[in-house]
């Protein structure tokens, strides 16, 4: 088993005796961009001194800026089915909750997709509960076809990431053939006794099968996988080390680890009470584990959803987060029903800003919003993407594409204020580009967009 419970417990126990000097030594190592080992990560999880915390955040921010610049990728979730045969005690979809279950028809999916595209989105995360009878893989595959083939006047969804239950190599191969982006699966908790306790009499309650889902996905040719745990189920320090061990396993076996890591915190949902969960993660610990993750896996994208408040998300952008959702609805058919004044969120959301409001705040804070999906259509996935990221050459691809897709959004959906803000930002960002050929490509793309062309990318 590549999640070594005994080793994690031993490392965490040893780290409790870490001195300020020990912590400073690890921070020195991180500052010099040396790879952190498990003991280093466990040591940083014991940081509580204000000066050391400030230094941790500063180093994480510098690493994030050097790799990602000021780019922030935006996306939205699309829930298509809440049928579920599992009894996960933390989830509003759990089988014992008695409500009218629903899955979207293909026509309803088209309606949701058109609404999402009109919000400016080009990248979705498809979400569904686990029910082999009512939500089989064939339904997921048909839904992917529907999403990709649905067009508005201003274009279509260009990339669909998929977050569905652990499945077989054959099914992952079918997903790959449909052109998915990242396959996302949260382990929920790496602590096996807690995993078993949380999932009860469920087909999901197979710790090893769930844990090895990414192995099967990569064997099927899925290049990019996105991990996560639900912070609040078990000791967050254990979870961070579990994530790092899982990432190391994939790097050793397949040559590339997680493309992204998501950081959801447990929120109130139908049929559960937060009082029953003793490991809820407070804001201070949450900020710390995001920053430590950025130090530990600097090239991995970090995702923050609208579970968190605008204030928390804005702060975490400074030293870790590189992707955020915007305008999210977490109920099946929720975007259509939201237009009709209904609230169908699966769990409590904290950030209710519209995509335009999110963009305005990002630009005000000097971030470059990006709707780019080019890497998947140009084959820059898996180890190819990581090699470009390590070399620093990814900037010459990502920045032009971010500028182009931001301008596309401004033309299609920006209000007068956002258009002015966005155009000023684009002008400043073009001036920063050092290579004349890249600068020329961006300028050519901007002219083409004004002339009505779409889907321009490097």
pLDDT at 268 over 90: no
Calpha distance 338→189 (Å, rounded):
32
Calpha distance 62→156 (Å, rounded):
35
Quick one: CA dihedral 439, 70, 298, 300, positive or negative?
negative
Position 387 confidence tier, pLDDT thresholds 50, 70, 90: confident
Average pLDDT along the chain:
93
Calpha distance 432→125 (Å, rounded):
32
57, containing H or E segment: helix 50-68
List the Cα angle 45/40/301 in 5-degree steps: 75
Calpha distance 162→448 (Å, rounded):
32
pLDDT in tens, 149-190: 999 989 999 999 999 999 999 999 999 999 999 999 999 999
Rounded to the nearest angstrom, the gap between the alpha carbon of residue 106 and the centroid of all alpha carbons in its chain is: 26
Q: With contact defined as beta carbons under 8 Å apart, do 223 and 175 qualify?
A: no
pLDDT in tens, 86-130: 999 998 888 888 888 999 999 999 999 999 999 999 999 999 999
Calpha distance 90→419 (Å, rounded):
42
pLDDT at 5 over 50: yes
CB proximity list for 278: less than 8 A, separation 6 or greater: none
pLDDT at 386 over 50: yes
pLDDT in tens, 46-73: 999 999 999 999 999 999 999 999 999 9
pLDDT in tens, 307-319: 999 999 999 999 9
pLDDT at 346: 54
List the Cα angle 380/319/90 in 5-degree steps: 85
Q: Give me the helices (H) in 190-256, please.
A: 192-199, 207-211, 213-219, 236-254
Tell me 231's DSSP state.
Answer: B
CB proximity list for 66: less than 8 A, separation 6 or greater: none
446, containing H or E segment: helix 436-450
pLDDT at 385: 81
Per CATH, is 71-352 categorized as 3.90.79.10?
no
For 7-34, what is the mean pLDDT?
97
Percent of the chain with pLDDT over 90: 82
pLDDT at 42: 98
Q: What length is written for the chain?
A: 458
pLDDT at 390 over 90: no
pLDDT in tens, 277-323: 999 999 999 999 999 999 999 999 999 999 999 999 999 999 999 99
pLDDT at 328: 93
- Domain ranges, ordered by start, for the chain: 5-65, 71-352, 391-450
pLDDT at 416: 97
Q: Beta partners for 160?
A: 124
Quick one: CA dihedral 354, 355, 360, 361, positive or negative?
positive
pLDDT in tens, 397-452: 889 999 999 999 999 999 999 999 999 999 999 999 989 999 999 999 999 999 98
Tally of CA atoms within 13 A in the half-sphere of 244 that contains its CB: 26
> Cα torsion for 447, 448, 452, 456, to the nearest 10°?
-130
pLDDT at 94: 86
pLDDT at 378: 77
Q: Which two tokens stand for residue 169?
A: 């190599």
pLDDT at 344 over 50: no
For 228-247, what is the mean pLDDT?
98
pLDDT at 347: 62
Q: With contact defined as beta carbons under 8 Å apart, do 306 and 350 qualify?
A: yes
Instruction: Count Cβ atoms within 10 A of the Cβ of residue 116 and give its class: 0-12 exposed, 13-18 middle, 19 or more buried.
Output: buried
């Amino acid at each position: 088993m590549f999640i070594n419970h005994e080793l994690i417990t031993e490392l965490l126990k040893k780290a409790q005796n870490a001195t300020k000097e020990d912590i400073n030594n690890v921070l020195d190592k991180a500052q010099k961009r040396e790879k952190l080992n498990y003991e280093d990560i466990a040591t940083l999880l014991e940081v509580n001194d204000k000066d050391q915390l400030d230094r941790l955040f500063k180093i994480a921010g510098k690493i994030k800026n050097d790799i990602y610049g000021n780019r922030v990728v935006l996306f939205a979730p699309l829930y298509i089915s809440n049928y579920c045969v599992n009894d996960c005690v933390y989830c509003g979809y759990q089988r014992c909750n008695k409500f009218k279950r629903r899955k979207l028809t293909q026509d309803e999916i088209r309606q949701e997709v058109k609404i999402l595209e009109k919000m400016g989105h080009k990248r979705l995360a498809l979400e569904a509960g686990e029910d082999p009878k009512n939500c089989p893989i064939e339904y997921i595959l048909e839904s992917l076809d529907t999403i990709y083939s649905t067009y508005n006047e201003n274009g279509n969804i260009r990339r669909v990431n998929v977050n569905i239950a652990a499945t077989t190599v054959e099914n992952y191969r079918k997903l790959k053939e449909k052109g998915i982006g990242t396959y996302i699966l949260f382990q929920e908790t790496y602590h096996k006794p807690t995993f078993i306790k949380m999932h009860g009499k469920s087909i999901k309650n197979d710790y090893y099968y769930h844990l090895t889902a990414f192995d099967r996905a990569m064997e099927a040719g899925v290049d990019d996988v996105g991990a996560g745990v639900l912070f609040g189920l078990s000791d967050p320090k254990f979870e961070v080390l579990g994530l790092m061990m899982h990432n190391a396993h994939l790097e050793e076996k397949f040559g590339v680890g997680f493309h992204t890591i998501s950081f959801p915190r447990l929120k109130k949902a139908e049929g559960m009470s937060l009082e029953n969960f003793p490991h809820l993660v407070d804001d201070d610990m949450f900020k710390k584990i995001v920053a430590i993750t950025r130090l530990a896996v600097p090239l991995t994208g970090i995702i923050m959803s609208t579970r968190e408040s605008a204030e928390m998300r804005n702060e975490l952008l400074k030293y870790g987060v590189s992707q955020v959702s915007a305008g999210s609805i977490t109920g099946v058919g929720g975007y259509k029903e939201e237009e009709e004044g209904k609230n169908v969120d699966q769990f409590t959301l904290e950030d209710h800003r519209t995509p335009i409001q999110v963009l305005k705040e990002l630009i005000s804070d000097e971030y470059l919003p990006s709707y780019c999906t080019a890497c998947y259509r140009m084959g820059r996935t898996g180890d190819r993407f990581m090699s470009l990221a390590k070399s620093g050459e990814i900037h010459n691809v990502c920045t032009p594409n971010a500028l182009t897709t931001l301008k596309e959004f401004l033309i299609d959906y920006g209000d007068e204020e956002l258009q002015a803000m966005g155009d000023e930002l684009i002008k400043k960002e073009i001036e920063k580009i050092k290579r004349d050929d890249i600068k020329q490509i961006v300028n050519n793309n901007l002219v083409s967009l004004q002339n009505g062309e779409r889907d321009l990318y490097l």
